[in-house]
Structure 1
Amino acid sequence: MNARTWIEIVEDNVGQYGDLVAGIDPSLGDVPRFFERDDAGGWVDRFVNFVLDAVEGRVGFVKFQSAYFEACGLPGLAALASGMKRAKAAGMGVILDAKRGDIGATAAAYARAYLTPASEGGSGDFEADCLTVNPLMGPDTLEPFVECANRFGKGLFVLCRTSNPGAGWLQDKMAGNRLISDRVADLIGSFATADLRSLSPIGAVVGATVPNEGRRLRQLLPNSIILAPGLGAQGGDIASIHSLRGVRPGDLLVPVSRGLTRVDDRDIPAELYRHMIIERIGSFQAAIAYDHAYGHSKSA
């Protein structure tokens, strides 16, 4: 087991750096041209290390979107593995946004791949502190992930009410006398620790684009950490973010990916790009900062 559990990482790093999660989504069309060279695929590793250079010591968490790395083939997977190891060694909490979910032995294999330390039978190549998972196929598909999370001090974010425009097609439908998103929240809550004074390692993904739904789901998940995507590019605003907060520091994490690293001018030079990322980090941190002692935004 790592020296710190996921909950310890959250409590320590939120206290030092705040709630911002730096997303690393390598998409060649969205990043400066200076990353490109003749070595096919090598740009991914250069991009990951450039972003980590900029965020290290400034944010407490990074989120790697696995799809972008997988799309780059073997060089992308190598960059993902080395980037995760570097971020963990620097003390940042590492979230792997893979949204895995399947039945039986397949779910157990995913849990071994992403949540199990090498010393306990995992490969160690893609070991995260926290993993996003999809509950669509039912509660039994989550059990191997929950078992690994509890055994090895890891965390999970279960998709509950997501930020995409089409989410309501299923998540806002009634099943029996409950909304599907409420039923998922009940399921997440059932995995929570019995200690009501502490955060649960089994959290929820609730989009910052749906504040009304978010307020309702927060009431169902008082001890859960909510990962709230959607700020900025997807239309979520600061008021929506704060509507998802509970009463404990660390119970809300706010990922920003394209809002930190995407450029319109791909000819921007390296030093200016680094300065831009650092400036954006400061702006987002100031915007979402919250004073739990007084129950309001620090920018208010």
Structure 2
Amino acid sequence: MRGENMLIDHLNARIIKEKSPIVVGLDPRWDLIPEAIKHENLKAYGETFKAVAESILHFNKGIIDAVMESAFVFKPQIAFYEQYGIEGIEAYYKTCQYVKEVGGIVIGDIKRGDIGSTSEAYAIAHLGETTIGNRSLKAFDSDFVTINPYLGSDCIAPFLNQCQTHDKGVFVLVKTSNPSSGELQDLFVGNTRIYERIADWVHGWSIKTTGNSGYSSVGAVVGATYPEELKRLREKMPNSIFLVPGYGAQGGGAKDVVEAFDSNGLGALINNSRGILYAYRKTGENYQIAAKKAANEMKASIVLELERVAK
């Protein structure tokens, strides 16, 4: 079934126009933020969460501004902000706001998933609206979020409902990039591995929400560190955009992610966090200059590999 799905069709149109399937993961680490930024905020706020949060926001804005010509999708991982308390959460909120202000798309990497009523609260917080009296207010207002399907379909349903109501999207964890993912995800249920069973669920949800571009607002997280599984899962979920972590610092490269794409260069968003955020630590350059170069090189490498495979 195809129809109006403005977010996913808009995303694909931009990927085609800008030739960029890159996601920049905004995973700020206090110890890796440039010393000049930290020094300024420690001087202003002392050794406090406020100093950390202001440093994170300064750093994130600098990265976003630097890489926008190569990447327009950004994925802040909420745990890197939660560890700094209320001030850290405020930095997360302001980061998401800033991405939208400059015309980017936000993937809230929240990995939520709980019993129905709790999932509904998570879904409203990150995708929907909360009604207070006569007003409807948005809390974090991500475009997409990552969700954990371990509790089953009733933990997913509230997110799908918010997607339909507010034209949002989700990426369901299917085959993750971490080394121990197989301890659970590769176990068999009958003749089917758990990650394949989840892929079947995702496909069933995706065909109900397919836009004019042929893709759905229900996507899947599939790691670049498992290229063979990536290839099989592309066949099992033809209507789902893949969010592909594991590029760069985790060992994945352009050749590892090419199977996530269709013949038109669509179907995947490739995430790189540390390799872009902290490129300056290897080059010795200004952090924005180094990030811009790293993003440009990543984009060029993936586009070149897609062109090679297409020949």
TM-score by length of 1: 0.90
Q: Is the 8 A contact 2:224 2:244 kept in 1?
A: yes
From 32, 35, 52, the counterpart of 2:64:
52
- Which of 262, 283, 288 is 2:297 aligned to? 283
- Is the deviation greater in 254-263 or in 223-232? 254-263
Partner of 1:43: 55
Alignment of 1:9-88 (within 5 A): 9-17=10-18, 18-36=20-38, 37-38=41-42, 39=45, 40-41=51-52, 42-88=54-100
Paired with 1:267 and 1:57, the residues of 2 have a C-alpha distance of 20
Change (3 A) 1:7 1:290: farther
| 1:220 aligned residue | 236
1:134 maps to a residue whose letter is N
Q: Tell me the distance in 2 between the aligned counterparts of 1:138 and 1:86.
A: 34
Displacement of 1:55 in angstroms is 2.1
Equivalent in the alignment of 1:155: 169
Residue 179 of structure 2 aligns to a residue in which SS? coil
Which moved further from structure 2: 236-245 or 179-188?
Answer: 236-245
Residue type at the aligned position of 1:221: M
Q: Which moved more, 1:283-292 or 1:13-22?
A: 283-292
CA contact (8 A) 1:113 1:122 kept: no
Match of 2:251 among 227, 235, 245: 235
Give 1:296 deviation, angstroms.
2.4
Matches of residues 109-120 of structure 1 in structure 2 within 5 Å?
Answer: 109-117=121-129
User: Matched residues in 1 for 2:73 and 2:242: separation?
Assistant: 14
Name the SS for the 1:166 alignment partner: helix
SS at match of 1:116: coil
Aligned residues: 292
SS at match of 1:167: helix
The 1:49–1:26 alpha-carbon spacing in structure 2 relative to 1, beyond 3 Å, is: same
- Kept in 2, the 8 Å contact 1:23–1:64? The answer is yes
Distance (whole Å) between structure 1 residues aligned to residue 9 and residue 166 of structure 2: 13
Matches of 1:151 and 1:24, distance apart in 2: 27
- 1:252 to 2:264 alignment: no
Quickly say closer, same or farther: Cα 1:283–1:264, change in 2 above 3 A.
Answer: closer
Structure 2 unmatched runs, 5+: 46-50
Return closer, same or farther for 1:191/1:265 CA change in 2, 3 Å cut-off.
closer
Aligned 8 A contact 1:25 1:257 in 2: yes
Measured after TM superposition, the shift of residue 295 of structure 1 is 7.4
Query: Residues 142-181 of structure 1, C-alpha deviation per residue, up to 9 Å, x if partnerless?
Result: 0000111122111100000000000000111101121101
> One-letter code of the match for 2:245?
P
Kept in 1, the 8 Å contact 2:37–2:58? The answer is: yes
Answer yes or no: is the 8 Å Cα contact 1:199–1:223 preserved in 2: yes
**Structure 2 residue aligned with 1:107:** 119
Return 14-23 or 203-212, whichever deviates more.
14-23
Separation in structure 1 between the aligned mates of residue 182 and residue 76 of structure 2, nearest angstrom: 26
1:93 to 105, 108, 113: 105
Alpha-carbon distance change, 249 to 243 in structure 1, aligned in 2, over 3 angstroms: closer
Unpaired stretches in structure 1, ≥5 consecutive residues = none
Amino acid at match of 2:9: E
**Structure 1 residue 77: Cα displacement:** 1.2
Q: Any residues of structure 2 matched to 1:122-201 within 5 Å, and which? A: 123-194=137-208, 198-201=214-217
Contact 1:11-1:249 within 8 A present in 2 as well: no
CA distance in 2, matches of 1:9, 1:71: 34
SS class of match (1:159): strand
Instruction: Go from structure 1 to structure 2 and tell me whether the alpha carbon gap of 1:278 and 1:266 turns closer, same or farther (over 3 Å shift).
Output: closer
Distance change in 2, residues 1:104/1:119 (3 Å):
closer
Going by fraction, where is helix more abundant, 1 or 2?
Answer: 2
Question: RMSD value over aligned CA atoms?
Answer: 2.4
